[in-house]
């Protein structure tokens, strides 16, 4: 009985220590705004930023990495569609809704889709600096 009790205490202490050990490091994001002011936050900004992992107890950084700003899903889709439409590869279209292309886009349809996706890139993507 004493062995089970000792094992239970050890297991409990281990489970309680895991969250404490996991919280010894915190991720901090650093970026500069258009006025050149440096900002720090614990949530990822939309701007291009640096990421630093800081040891909470000592305040030392584990290293800094530059991360590109994360684009919205709409931006990523518009950029991918535009790249595919501007390539020489055939682009199929599903006319009956079964998830499989039934025919390829005509030149006029392709041109229309290029215009639409260029507008999507302008609307959903942040301009390159």
Q: Answer yes or no: is pLDDT of 47 > 70.
A: no
Give, in degrees to the nearest 5, the angle at Cα 128 between 65 and 126.
95
CB < 8 Å & 24+ apart, contacts of 124-127: 124/71, 124/72, 124/74, 124/75, 124/78, 125/71, 125/72, 125/75, 125/78, 125/79, 126/46, 126/69, 126/71, 126/75
Domain limits for position 107: 73-124
pLDDT of residue 127: 74
- If asked whether residues 90 and 115 sit together in one domain, one would say yes
- If asked whether residues 62 and 84 sit together in one domain, one would say no
- If asked whether residues 38 and 60 sit together in one domain, one would say yes
* pLDDT (average), residues 69-93: 86
Q: What percent of the chain has pLDDT over 90?
A: 18
- If asked whether residues 112 and 78 sit together in one domain, one would say yes
pTM tops 0.95, yes or no: no
14 located within any domain: no
* pLDDT (average), residues 72-93: 89
Confidence of residue 73 (pLDDT cuts 50, 70, 90): confident
């Amino acid at each position: 009985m004493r062995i089970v009790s000792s094992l239970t205490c050890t297991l409990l202490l281990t489970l309680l220590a895991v969250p404490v050990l996991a919280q010894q490091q915190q991720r901090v994001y650093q970026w500069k705004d258009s006025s050149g002011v440096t900002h720090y936050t614990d949530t990822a900004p939309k701007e291009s930023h640096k990421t630093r992992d800081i040891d909470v107890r000592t305040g030392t950084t584990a290293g800094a990495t530059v991360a590109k700003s994360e684009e919205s899903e709409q931006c990523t889709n518009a950029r991918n569609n535009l790249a595919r439409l501007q390539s020489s590869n055939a682009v199929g279209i599903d006319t009956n809704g079964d998830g499989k292309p039934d025919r390829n886009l005509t030149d006029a349809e392709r041109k229309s889709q290029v215009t639409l996706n260029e507008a999507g890139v302008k609307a959903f993507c942040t301009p390159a600096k």
